[in-house]
Structure 1
Amino acid sequence: MTRPDRLLQLTRTGYGLALLVDPPRGHPGFGRPLRLLLGARNLAQAAVCAAVPTPAVRGVGVGVDLLHAASMLTVAARAHRYRHPALAQAGAALAFAAAGAALGRRPAPVAP
């Protein structure tokens, strides 16, 4: 696994862990069960992408992130109460998708 791949998966792991921690009382956003699900998904995706760092797995990860972004944009458009957390989730998913896609364009490292 390349250093940029490692950095992406460490970032995703940190993001997943942050979603698992309860924010302060009164924090606007999704309920605890949904935050736990989203955090667990990010942790699982980081683990799979780190364990099997192939272009195919990275491509599936980018696809999952794009589907998540699309679902959150739909929530933001239809549920005013969840607009801000949904847009934040969509932004994070798009950032992860863009990073994964950019890593997919890098040439494979050449062994010495």
Structure 2
Amino acid sequence: MRRTRPVDVARFGLGLAALSRPGLLLHLTKGPTSAVSYSAATRRTVRLLGARYVVQSGGGMILERPWLPEADALVDLVHAASMLGLAALSRNHRRLALLSAGAAVAFAGADLQEQTE
């Protein structure tokens, strides 16, 4: 019987939150003194990332393939690299990009850790 990987559950939860409440996630990522206001385009981007997490975790929950954790980790590491690039280029989105990169690296680490167990 297929066991659901905890990283897929966590990825699904974050994706669902990003899809359903992007404003809440954006609010939670603001610093205590931040005056940044996020646009509708930023909210759409958060929803798009949420959809990617839901699809990625759904694939992980449905498929049983030995290469899946490595593929998930690669997708998340590519995302983290793109967020580090955004952080370097956009002061207004730096905090959000760094938090997103951190979450992606954590998911990749969890996927790769599973491979060693």
TM-score for the superposition, normalised by structure 1: 0.83
SS in structure 2 opposite 1:32? helix
Structure-2 residue corresponding to 1:23: 23
Runs of 4+ in 1 over 3 A off after TM superposition: 26-30
Q: Does 1:90 align with 2:89?
A: no
Q: Does 1:56 align with 2:67?
A: yes
List gaps (5 residues or longer) in structure 1. 107-112
SS in structure 2 opposite 1:81? coil
State percent identity of aligned pairs: 36
- State the distance in 2 between where 1:75 and 1:23 align: 20
Give the drift of 1:2. 3.6
- State the distance in 2 between where 1:52 and 1:42 align: 15
Structure-2 residue corresponding to 1:109: none
Structure-2 residue corresponding to 1:105: 116
- State the distance in 2 between where 1:70 and 1:22 align: 22
Structure-1 residue corresponding to 2:48: 37
Count of residue pairs the alignment pairs up: 103
SS in structure 2 opposite 1:80? coil
Structure-1 residue corresponding to 2:81: 70
